[in-house]
Amino acid sequence: MTTINIDNCMERMPVLFVGHGSPMYAIEENEFVQTWRDMGDTLPIPKAIICISAHWETRGTQVTAMQQPQTIHDFGGFPRELYEINYPAPGNPELAKEAINLIKSSPVTPNEKWGLDHGAWSVIRRIYPKADIPVIQLSMDYNKSPKEHYELAKELVSLRDKGVLIIGSGNIVHNLRQVAWDKPDDQEYGYDWTIEANETVKKLIIEGKHNELINYKSLGKAVQMAAPSADHYLPLLYALALKKEDEEVSFFNDKAVMGSLTMTSIKIG
């Protein structure tokens, strides 16, 4: 398989942070899924995609570097239909090498085993269902601070001008211990602290106060409850780090689900 050359400059690609929600959204139809699908019709067609998913944390930073990444079903207790999904997008070893060379703040290791986890494929297959755009994943080093993740992401900014779409996949509010399991289909239900945390983060995004978003643990109890662990919040910082000063941020899928999750997503550029 031939890798896609990313050396030629082109129009700057936007950056996405996508609230990916339940793995079931990979097979269900709802307004969030339809928005993802619509984005495929409106976004520029990228030469390749880098995804930073909440579901790939490692010791040290790694990047998938195989020609054909596997579809990883990294969840349990769901219908068989979900496990039968295969998203056969090619990889891009050339792009993986470029990312490794760009990141100077810490060593990055090529990974030949991981593939695409559901934080990546459940969303990307809705945006680009033909699976004809190469996709690689960049892991999040669980030993790094939020500031270090943010600074590492900045080192990838030049790829936006080479046709690479960078996607952070997580959730601004993601507290599974507080989920209202009795409201699985209510796409408008959020606890008071969920709504407060979501609005706090959105306000800071609009105001460009990235330092406060990096130090999110100091933003009060609601935000602490929204992100009891960093995994689903950090992909937001990767997206924000890639914003240029002249670029606008827009929100989509801005709703709470099941009490303690938000699907709120952003588009930069």
User: Is residue 217 assigned to a domain?
Assistant: yes
Contact status, residue 107 vs residue 153, Cβ threshold 8 Å: no
User: Is residue 264 assigned to a domain?
Assistant: yes
Query: What confidence tens digit (pLDDT) does each residue in 120-173 have?
Result: 999 999 999 999 999 999 999 999 999 999 999 999 999 999 999 999 999 999
> What stretch of H or E contains 109?
strand 108-111
In this predicted structure, the answer to whether residue 1 has a pLDDT above a threshold of 50 is: no
User: Is residue 69 assigned to a domain?
Assistant: yes
User: Is residue 6 assigned to a domain?
Assistant: no
User: Is residue 256 assigned to a domain?
Assistant: yes
Q: How confident is the model at residue 11 (pLDDT cuts 50, 70, 90)?
A: confident
The pTM score is 0.95
Whose tokens are 């945006």? That residue is: 127
CB contact set of 178 (below 8 Å; sequence gap of 6+): 191, 225, 259, 260
User: Is residue 67 assigned to a domain?
Assistant: yes
Helix/strand/coil for 203: helix
Surface-to-core class of residue 45, CB atoms within 10 Å of its CB (0-12 exposed, 13-18 middle, 19+ buried): exposed
Bridging pattern class, strands 61-64 and 108-111: parallel
Residue range of the domain that includes 51: 15-268
Query: What confidence tens digit (pLDDT) does each residue in 69-87 have?
Result: 999 999 999 999 999 999 9
Whose tokens are 């090619």? That residue is: 90
Q: How confident is the model at residue 105 (pLDDT cuts 50, 70, 90)?
A: very high
CB contact set of 217 (below 8 Å; sequence gap of 6+): 223, 224
Cα–Cα distance measured from residue 258 to residue 187, given in angstroms and rounded to the nearest whole number: 7
The CATH code of the domain that includes 124 is 3.40.830.10
What's at 228, amino acid-wise? P
Contact status, residue 90 vs residue 139, Cβ threshold 8 Å: no
User: Is residue 29 assigned to a domain?
Assistant: yes
Q: Tell me the CB-side half-sphere exposure of residue 32, using CA atoms within 13 A.
A: 28
Surface-to-core class of residue 40, CB atoms within 10 Å of its CB (0-12 exposed, 13-18 middle, 19+ buried): middle
Q: Which string of b and e fits 67-97 if b means at least 16 CB within 10 Å?
A: eebbbbbebeeeeeebeeeebebbbbbbbbe
Q: How many domains does the chain have?
A: 1
Query: What confidence tens digit (pLDDT) does each residue in 233-263 have?
Result: 999 999 999 999 999 999 999 999 999 999 9
Cα–Cα distance measured from residue 5 to residue 114, given in angstroms and rounded to the nearest whole number: 23
User: Is residue 59 assigned to a domain?
Assistant: yes
